[in-house]
Chain A
Amino acid sequence: MEQLSGAEMIIRCLQDEGVEYVFGYPGGAVLHIYDALFRQKQVKHVLVRHEQAATHMADGYARATGKPGVVLVTSGPGATNAVTGIATAYMDSIPMIVLSGQVRSDWIGDDAFQETDMIGVSRPIVKHSFSVRDARDIPEIIKKAFFIATTGRPGPVLIDIPKDKTAPSVKFPYEYPKKVKMRSYNPAVRGHSGQIRKAVDALLEARRPVIYTGGGVIQGEASAQLVELARMLGYPVTNTLMGLGGYPATDRQFIGMLGMHGTYEANMSMHHADVVFAVGARFDDRVTSNTKKFCPDARFIHIDVDPASISKNIRADVPIVGTAEQVLSDMIALLRQTGEKPDAKALEAWWKQIDDWRQVHGLRYERGSELLKPQQVIETLYSVTKGDAFVTSDVGQHQMFAAQYYKFDKPRRWINSGGLGTMGFGLPAAMGVAMAYPDATVACVTGEGSIQMNIQELSTCKQYELPVKVINLNNQSLGMVRQWQDMQYEGRHSHSYMESLPDFVKLVEAYGHVGMKVTKIADLEPAMKEAFKLKDRLVFMDIYVDPEEHVYPMHIGDGSMRDMWLSKTQRT
């Protein structure tokens, strides 16, 4: 049998797992691993400028491809810098493997140079973690890590590797395990057939149904099944922020995103629904508003691969534990087999009601002002990219505008930090997507606040020639904070301004990219067309937008789904 060192085994395992890219940053504790990486060609390493960006790149790669993202960082600050990115992936159930270096095992606990208890630090934000105690265990640990990260409800898995376990002089026989078996980890796949029958019955009895789907449909590759089932039934579909693209946004049955900044029609439909069919969604507080007032007339059918997500915030009447793909397929088969149909008359009345809501208060914003409106920028982005770009975002108003106005027709095209709300996510995530799909159009919708949280990655973009298009909605303020201050703090803008902004055009030029500044409505579309024509260049569009603009609709705090602000002066 082949003899390999611990470090060589790590790299070989990644090869055997089919890993294309490792996103990382070298340092003392991982030098043996970096040397093993250097002596092979198969696994490519991407050198970031800050470890947080490595995790977001791996995350963006994972969200776009469905394959786990792999991160390699050194001990101490290298590992702690990765924490925000690990937490981001954890909240959004993204498969990720984080290899963190550790000081040599006989120094652990001695406060050695660059020592941090990374197992302890990361414990609440990983699906699982391993510490390598014997180099012989490395293949099994890595196999298990990939298995855990990618099955059930996906999530990040951390492997902490003391430096002495990777020593080049100590070799062991290498064999990558073909299978893993863990007596304590058996995620469910198939839903209970009795429950599936009940769910189908409840759906068929519904008179005012809503299908409400989340990230589980995207991560669980269940989009095709969702579309098929929704079309068989003819029911309205709403997506969470994480679920956009799970159902085609240009389809007539799509009623938009729901929740805090959801559409009027989606939130009204939820409030008045008699059956809510939740698929891979977790009734997050940004969706439900006050849970006591949430959907007062509804029965809840809830499919989730994670039993703990069911009946956590909202009690499910028909809980089904299983993958969205499998359970939806079983439901489709059952409907086909029985040939049962929903009540067409009730459905017609329900759609009439929903269409009325759409008419009255569909997504809209004030046009015709002097200043560029952020919504307009997203609409232009949508038309210029023909709705076919991968769009990543940071966090804040621009994120909500992108979610509302870019119509995603395919899963994995909309990539944002929904659960943790991590500013600084957008650019590195876009880079991860561009790595995975070099020929795709990748846009990062961001703001002048968020972009500065990982702007150093413009350097990485240059090194790897990543032609991301950065759409910077520059309102010279932390827009979402400012909006809350306008609405709840009588307009006291406590530290939500952005004074002393850099000249972004000069800055990106200094990094070797193309910068464009847009301040006039008339310039927007031509400039954007020009930017997207530069297929092999990173273009940073610094677009000055109306700083007074708010995101609407917006849930009224502690209210029900139907309690919304529709503009600065109008509420339901």
Chain B
Amino acid sequence: MRRIISILMENEPGALSRVVGLFSQRGYNIDTLTVAPTEDATLSRLTLTTLGDDQKIEQITKQLNKLVEVVKVVDLTEGAHIERELMLIKMKATGAQRAEIKRTTDIFRGQIVDVTGTVYTVQLAGTTDKLDAFIHAIGEDQVLEVVRSGVSGIARGEKVLSL
């Protein structure tokens, strides 16, 4: 099962490599990974998605918690949560396709953020599924380049991941 693991860790050099190293060292996979400092500059928030059954995820969270620089770990998929991924996608856009891409982008509530005579670049945010669906709707033949941020997530309601 796909899980979103959210980690609060010390914003120190080397901390990220310990987290990433742990995954390769213990044979866990990482599908997506995103990391940036939080409102408290001494802390970074790292979100990653991985696949695993309950036992594997339990081991992953325990091993992550053992890392000295890791302050808190949650599996966001355990409760209600919001997840978003940002995609920048560059597509061939000529002739009739220009209007078609514009319409599809509107339907998906994306924005065209750069235009040339033959190319559109679209910005789109949403769940991983939504981004996949957009690429499918446009047609993979049209796509020149895709950049995805990886999943960010936050719990719904009043639950907060902080110190």
Q: Which residues of A contact B (CB under 8 A)?
A: 119-120, 123-124, 127-129, 131, 148, 182-185, 306-308, 311-312, 315
Report the Cα distance A124→B9, complex, angstroms: 18
Whether A182 pairs with B62 at a CB distance below 8 angstroms is no
Tell me which of A123, A131, A182, A308 contacts B68 (CB under 8 A).
Answer: A182
Encode B8-24 as 1/0 by CB contact (under 8 A) with A: 01100110011001000
CA distance A127 to B69 in the complex (A): 11
Asked if A123 meets B55 with Cβ closer than 8 Å, knowing A131-B13, A148-B68, A185-B68, the reply is: no
Residues of chain B touching chain A, judged by Cβ–Cβ distance below 8 Å, are 9-10, 13-14, 17-18, 21, 25, 55, 58-59, 62-63, 65-66, 68-71, 163
Known: A308-B59, A308-B62, A311-B55. A184 touches B9 (CB 8 A): yes
Question: Given A131-B14, A308-B59, A311-B58, are A184 and B25 neighbors across the interface (CB < 8 Å)?
Answer: no
User: Chain B contacts of A119 at CB under 8 A?
Assistant: 14
Nearest B-chain residue to A183, judged by Cβ: B71
With A120-B17, A183-B71, A311-B58 already in contact, 16 other A-B pairs whose C-beta atoms are closer than 8 Å = A123-B21, A124-B21, A129-B14, A131-B14, A148-B68, A184-B9, A184-B10, A184-B69, A184-B70, A184-B71, A185-B68, A307-B62, A307-B65, A308-B66, A311-B55, A315-B55
Cβ of A124 and Cβ of B25 under 8 Å apart? yes
Residue in chain A with minimal CB distance to B66? A308
Residue of A nearest to B72 (CB): A184
| Chain B residues with CB below 8 A from A185, complex form | 68
Minimal Cβ-Cβ distance residue in A for B20 = A123
How far, in whole Å, are A555 and B63 apart by their CA atoms in the complex? 30
Q: Is the interface of B mostly helix, strand, loop or mixed?
A: helix
Q: Provide the bound-state CA to CA distance between A441 and B39, in Å.
A: 59
Most chain A C-beta atoms within 10 Å of own C-beta, residue among B58, B59, B63, B68: B68
Distance from A116 Cβ to chain B, minimum over Cβ atoms (Å)? 15
A127, A131, A148, A307: residue with the most chain B Cβ atoms closer than 10 Å: A307
Nearest chain A CB to B102 CB, angstrom units: 47
Docked Cα-Cα span, A129 to B68, in Å, equals: 9
CA distance A373 to B49 in the complex (A): 57
Contact of A123 among B9, B13, B18, B71 (CB under 8 A): B18
Chain B residue numbers with a CB within 8 Å of A312 are 59
For residue B138, give the distance in angstroms from its CB to the closest CB of chain A: 41
Question: Could you say which residues of chain B place their CB within 8 Å of the CB of A306?
Answer: 66
Q: Which residue of B lies closest to A144 (CB)?
A: B68
Between A and B, 22 residue pairs with Cβ closer than 8 Å are: A119-B14, A123-B17, A123-B18, A124-B21, A124-B25, A127-B68, A128-B68, A129-B14, A131-B13, A131-B14, A148-B68, A182-B68, A183-B71, A183-B163, A184-B9, A184-B71, A306-B66, A307-B62, A307-B65, A308-B62, A311-B55, A312-B59
In the complex, A182→B70 CA distance in Å? Answer: 11
Residues on B with C-beta less than 8 A from A129 are 14
> What separation, in Å, do the CA atoms of A307 and B63 have in the docked complex?
9
- A565 to B47 alpha-carbon distance, docked (Å): 50
Least CB distance, A421 to chain B, in whole angstroms = 19
Looking at the assembled complex, report how far the CB atom of B57 sits from the nearest CB atom of chain A, in whole angstroms: 12
* Bound-state Cα–Cα, A183 to B163, Å: 9
Closest to B69 in A: A184
From B60, which residue of chain A is reached at the shortest CB distance? A308
Question: Could you say which residues of chain B place their CB within 8 Å of the CB of A148?
Answer: 68
Q: How far is the CA of A123 from the CA of B112 in the complex (A)?
A: 44
Residue ID in chain A nearest B26 by CB atoms: A124
Distance between B77 CB and nearest chain A CB, rounded to angstroms: 20
What chain B residues lie within 8 Å of A131 (beta carbons)?
A: 13-14
Q: Which residue of B lies closest to A157 (CB)?
A: B68
CB closest chain-B residue, reference A131: B14
Residue of B whose beta carbon sits closest to that of A124: B25
Q: Give, as a whole number of angstroms, the nearest-CB distance from A181 to chain B.
A: 13
- B21 touching A184 by the CB < 8 A rule? no
Among residues of B, the one whose C-beta sits closest to the C-beta of A152 is B66
A30 CB, min distance to chain B CBs, angstroms: 21
CB nearest to A308 among chain B residues: B62
Residues in B whose Cβ lies below 8 Å from that of A127? 68
Instruction: Kindly provide the distance from the CB of A157 to the nearest chain B CB, expressed in whole angstroms.
Output: 9
* Distance of A148 Cα from B14 Cα, bound (Å): 17
A311–B56 CA distance with the chains assembled, in angstroms:
10
Asked if A308 and B71 make an inter-chain contact with CB atoms under 8 angstroms apart, the answer reads no
Question: Shortest distance in angstroms between A36's beta carbon and chain B's nearest beta carbon?
Answer: 26
In the assembled complex, the Cα of A312 lies from the Cα of B66 at a distance in Å of 14
Alpha-carbon gap, A183 to B8, bound state (A) = 12
* B9 partner residues in chain A, CB cutoff 8 A: 184
Q: In the docked arrangement, what's the CA distance between A311 and B14, Å?
A: 29
CA distance A182 to B18 in the complex (A): 17
CB of A367, distance to nearest CB on chain B (Å): 47
How far is B18's CA from A184's CA once the two chains are assembled, in angstroms? 14
Q: Which residues of the other chain, B, contact A128 by a CB distance below 8 angstroms?
A: 68
Q: Are A184 and B63 in touch, CB under 8 angstroms?
A: no
| Chain B residues in 8 Å Cβ range of A182 | 68
In whole angstroms, what is the CA distance A163 to B68 when docked?
26
Within the assembled complex, what's the spacing in Å between the Cα atoms of A131 and B59? 28
Bound CA–CA A315/B58 (angstroms): 11
Instruction: Tell me, rounded to whole Å, the shortest Cβ–Cβ distance linking A91 to chain B.
Output: 13
Which chain A residues border B18 with CB–CB below 8 Å? 123
Q: Please measure, in the bound complex, the distance between the C-alpha atom of A120 and the C-alpha atom of B70, giving whole angstroms.
A: 18
List 4 tightest A-B contacts by C-beta distance, closest first. Answer: A308-B62, A184-B71, A128-B68, A124-B25
Closest to B14 in A: A119
Contacts A120-B17, A123-B17, A123-B21 given; does A184 touch B68 at CB 8 Å = yes
* Closest beta carbon of chain A to B134's beta carbon, Å: 39
